[in-house]
Amino acid sequence: MEQLGAAGERVKGALINEEDLKGLTQFGTGVVNVFASLIESIGGGRGAILNLGSIFTQVFSGVIAK
């Protein structure tokens, strides 16, 4: 089992560059923070759902009517 675990770690190390992973993690954190700020600015979860639903309805009303 230890040998299998070590082999798995070697594969992971060969596939994933730690620096690339760090950059991807920072990018993902930034995107989530922007999304959280957007939701907070329009009134939290319930407000966000209601506002986004309203926007989608207005945008796609022409498509829905067809």
Digit-coded pLDDT (tens) for 41-53: 877 777 777 777 7
pLDDT top residue among 27 and 13: 27
Q: Rounded to an integer, what distance in angstroms lies between the CA atom of residue 16 and that of residue 42?
A: 38
Question: What percent of the chain lies above the pLDDT cut of 90?
Answer: 17
Question: Angle at CA 43, nearest 5°, toward 39 and 49?
Answer: 65
Q: Rounded to an integer, what distance in angstroms lies between the CA atom of residue 41 and that of residue 51?
A: 11
Q: Rounded to an integer, what distance in angstroms lies between the CA atom of residue 66 and that of residue 64?
A: 5
Decide: pTM greater than 0.75.
no
Domain count for the chain: 1
Domain that holds residue 12: 2-65
